Chains A and B, each alone.
Chain A
Amino acid sequence: MRSLYIRLLEAHPAEFRRRFGDEMLEAFDLSAGFRATAGLFADGVLSLARQWLLRSEFRQPAGTSPAYDLVTFHQIEPYKPSGIALTQGGLAAILLLAGIVNAINHGGGHPGSLPIGMQRPGLGFIKIDRSDLEGRPAVAAEAAKDEDDPMRPFARSYFRILRALAALDTDGDLTISAAEVAGAPAALRALDGNHDGKLSAEECGFLPPGDFNGPRRLLASKRRAFVRDNPVLAALDTDHDGEISASEIANSAAALLALDLDHNGSLSPYEVLPHPATSRAAGIIGRFDISDSGVISIAGLPQDDPDIASIKRLLTAADRNRDGLVTRGELVVALASRAGEETIKP
């Protein structure tokens, strides 16, 4: 208990401890009984809080304690700021903070070095280096565009996943400009990781299933479907072999302009995104074309599939020639017409 009380005394400010520590310890040594000891501990804890929180005026400034028997002089009197000084200091701090905030709000700088929080250059003196962000739209501006066009977040994800599109859209504005169309051959050649002169589906963004261990023929079919179902890749793959050959890369600028429906020289997200019906048809065929024949047999649908009823209704409606087999084309038409009906319905 004595050592614990000594620790309590040691926690007091040095000036107080040096001056009264021994005497307080003597009082502890002379006390007797549990109640007296407990009372001394309670008194010690209160004293500790009082000395640190309320008695700053009794503490000497650092460096003025007479350590090592050296003669030292008090250069600063024990000091406690007056209320007026604290008020003035507080006002000065508020004014300084207001000045900094004002500088930020009305600040600016030369191009390439903008104040924190600024989107455009202006006059100011708090600078940050944004040279690495030059040419890229600001995040805030992107958020505003997203509010105007709900399709943009989906388009951004699509551009990120499809590596060929990400390579073509060099400034990341989700539009393949005329200059980017012209620079398409160089941008696409940069994707040729194995330097074989052509782009495989994987080099364009195709990700085979991680646990795929089926026949190679089925994997090749999925690669071709990937290239066929993404409009940009489909436009580039003019011979429909599922790869972008060297000659197709060389002719890519002209091939991309085939997607320019509004003839403005650039490709907007709506001109490069796959049609929803096409995407959905690709998903359904990939799921139910078990024999990889390119068609779905209605009679061969797996009866244990949880969506079997709705899929069967869709495929029966899509089977225009009633041969029991649904081709990709029939399915796309059916899905597109269904989407149109849903749009027209109030």
Chain B
Amino acid sequence: MPRTADHFLPLAPATLHILLSLASEKMYGYAIMQEVARQSEGRFKLGPGTLYDNLQRLMKQGLVEEAGGFGDDNPRRRYYRLTGLGRGVFNAEIERLRAVIDHAGLKTLRPRRT
């Protein structure tokens, strides 16, 4: 039975950052690490071991795939991109987070009863 996007939620922080990095374009591993550091303003850094462990799992789950071919500038580089399922999972996670934030905002704006 095919898995739905909701099956993968909620995502771990490292997974979310990797999917977020690949959401706009295909990337190779070191660029993903740099992008994750940029997204979190340096607070969240992925080491190569953690990154490729996550990529290995995400490819196994069918959320990420190789973009095909090696990097033109560096033969060691491989590019990765989101699959259709991966994009669906990423969107579902963003929706979930948005709902959480909206709910938190409503609670914050609601006047306190005394």
Contacts and interface: CB of A to CB of B under 8 A. Distances in A.
Contacts of B56: 16, 19-20, 55, 58
Interface in B15-36: 28-30, 33
A58 B60 contact: yes
A194 to B, nearest CB: 80
A50 B53 contact: yes
A27 B32 CA distance: 11
A26 B74 CA distance: 10
Give the interface SS of chain A, mostly helix, strand, loop or mixed.
helix
Contacts of A70: none
Nearest to A48: B49
Given A39-B47, A40-B47, A43-B47, A24 B53 contact: no
Contact of B76 (A16, A22, A51, A58): A22
A23 to B, nearest CB: 4
Contacts of A71: none
A16 B56 CA distance: 8
Contact of A26 (B45, B53, B57, B77): B77
Contacts of A46: 47, 49-50
B85 to A, nearest CB: 19
B53 A51 contact: yes
A47 B78 contact: no
A42 to B, nearest CB: 8
Nearest to A25: B76
A206 interface: no
A140 interface: no
B50 A43 contact: yes
Nearest to A49: B49
A50 B49 contact: yes
Interface in A1-36: 16, 19-20, 22-28, 30
Nearest to B78: A23
B5 to A, nearest CB: 22
Given A43-B49, A51-B53, A23 B33 contact: no
A44 interface: yes
Contact of A27 (B33, B57, B60): B33
B68 to A, nearest CB: 15
A270 to B, nearest CB: 79
A23 B49 contact: no
Contact of A23 (B28, B50, B60): B28
Nearest to B60: A58
A58 B53 CA distance: 10
B47 A23 contact: no
Given A39-B47, A40-B47, A43-B47, A24 B60 contact: no
A117 to B, nearest CB: 51
A44 B53 CA distance: 11
A39 B50 CA distance: 12
B44 interface: no
A27 B29 contact: yes
A23 B53 contact: no
- The CB with the most chain B CB atoms within 10 A, among A22, A25, A26, A27, is that of A27
A128 B91 CA distance: 70
Nearest to A8: B49
Interface of B: 28-30, 33, 45, 47-50, 52-53, 55-57, 60, 74, 76-78
Given A23-B52, A43-B47, A50-B53, 19 more contacts: A16-B56, A20-B52, A23-B48, A23-B76, A24-B29, A24-B48, A24-B49, A27-B48, A28-B48, A39-B47, A40-B47, A44-B47, A44-B49, A46-B49, A47-B47, A47-B50, A47-B53, A55-B53, A58-B60
15 contacts: A20-B52, A20-B55, A22-B76, A23-B29, A23-B30, A23-B77, A24-B52, A27-B30, A43-B47, A43-B49, A47-B47, A51-B53, A55-B53, A58-B56, A58-B60
| Pairs A-B, 5 closest by C-beta atoms | A47-B49, A43-B47, A20-B52, A24-B48, A22-B76
